[in-house]
Amino acid sequence: MRMEEGMMTTKEDRKVVVAVDESEESMYALAWCLGNLAFQTSNTTLLLLYVKPPLPVYSSLDAAGYFFGKDVISAIVDYNKELADSVMDRAEAIYRNSSTPMKIEKKIGSGDAKDVICETVERLGADILVMGCHGYGFFKRALLGSVSDHCSKHVKCPVLVVKRPKN
């Protein structure tokens, strides 16, 4: 529901973006979303978003092409595609095992995950972003950064960060 001029209105088409990756935490977040969020309309679209890491940048330090030769880059591209397909297959299986009636779309982006997720959510006008939480401690979060923290500060829609139980 949205507030417009003091009145509650029902939005016809809802867009739920779930950021997935190869982690158990993101798959748990997807399952939790499907089992716990109330989707009151069949006009809800679930968008599964996976972000591949960017390809390595060719460096002048590797002028001979040993580190990033065509074979190495080709192998990285193939691996990234297989990983993306695997993640999407796992996510789609979780969706099929739920009884939630909604349309499903899959999108694979490339780049820095936090930037691609924020840009995609804004471009689609998503109603909610659902993400898993890796539960990094202070030092790991300081070194690696937190994608969910960045997204919660930069997107305009609500962000649901689902923490996977330890057991």
Distance between CA atoms of residues 17 and 109, nearest Å:
13
Mean pLDDT for all residues in the chain? 82
Residue scoring higher pLDDT (27 or 142): 27
pLDDT tens, 34-62? Answer: 988 876 666 889 999 999 988 766 555 55
Q: Is 124 left (phi over 0), alpha (psi -120 to 50) or beta?
A: alpha
> What is the per-residue pLDDT across 63-96, written as a single tens digit (0 to 9) for each?
555 556 677 778 888 899 999 999 999 999 999 9
Q: What is the pTM of this model?
A: 0.80
Task: Report how far residue 163's alpha carbon sits from residue 24's, in angstroms, rounded to the nearest whole number.
Answer: 11
| Residue 82, H or E segment | helix 70-97
Q: Where are the beta strands (DSSP E) in 32-157?
A: 44-52, 103-110, 128-133
